Chains A and B, each alone.
Chain A
Amino acid sequence: QSALAQPASVSGSPGQSITISCTGTSGDVGGYDYVSWYRHHPGEAPTFLLYEVKNRPSGVSDRFSGSKSGNTASLTISGLRAEDEAEYYCSSYTNKYTVIFGGGTKLTVL
């Protein structure tokens, strides 16, 4: 099964907002509200940002928000900060009782 489709890179200036898309199929993103998002700084363990499309675990800033329309989910980061520069991944539950990740998006804060 191919990875969910994410843009390879996005960029923004401090204080701006950016959105990262995550496109799948009706067998994963489109079929379930079980989309999650993760942030990964190189050399560190990934961190969990959102679950079930738009829910934030405790401790995650409200600068991170999520949405979904059809087969595409989105992560929006508002008020960009230098520390947001990282790789971002989406994931989705699938109709094969598995989980699938997106290909990852490198966020550059200009």
Chain B
Amino acid sequence: EPQVVESGGGLVQAGGSLRLSCAASGFTVRGLWTHWARQVPGLGLAWVSRIDSDGSSASYADSVKGRFTVSRDSATSMVYLQLNSLRVEDTAVYYCTSGSFSHLDVWGQGTTVTVSS
């Protein structure tokens, strides 16, 4: 069964950094994009970032551009989301998903990031 698993969430102070990891299993990631989305408590889903299967193309939501960086390790197919200059408003459950360039197919259970002031 195809699945993705996120890890790396935690509690960090404002201005700090975290690195989230995403591991895929049960399917090949070749040709697939990996997206990150988040859900702030009490609010809706928001798209954060995406990266293509060979790591050559990435894009970001305006709210995180310049602070977050998505990357892929081609040897292990792991995908990472580096979160820098974190703000209280970045507190959310972060989901990793696999899909096409435009849709998010296989979703993980999410990892929680809490940014304290």
Interface residues in chain A, defined as those with a beta carbon under 8 Å from any beta carbon in chain B: 1, 3, 32, 34, 36, 38, 40, 44-48, 51-52, 57, 87, 89, 91-93, 96-104
Contact = CB atoms under 8 A, between A and B. Distances in A.
Interface string B66-104: 000000000000000000000000000001000111111
Contact of B45 (A40, A51, A52, A57): A40
Interface residues of B, number: 24
B31 interface: no
B45 A1 contact: no
- 8 closest Cβ pairs, A-B complex: A104-B44, A34-B102, A93-B102, A36-B103, A45-B107, A99-B47, A51-B103, A97-B59
B contact face: mostly helix, strand, loop, or mixed? strand
Contacts of A3: 44, 46
Contacts, number: 69
B85 to A, nearest CB: 20
Nearest to B99: A48
A46 B105 CA distance: 9
Contacts of A51: 100, 102-103, 105
Nearest to A96: B59
Contacts of A34: 102-103
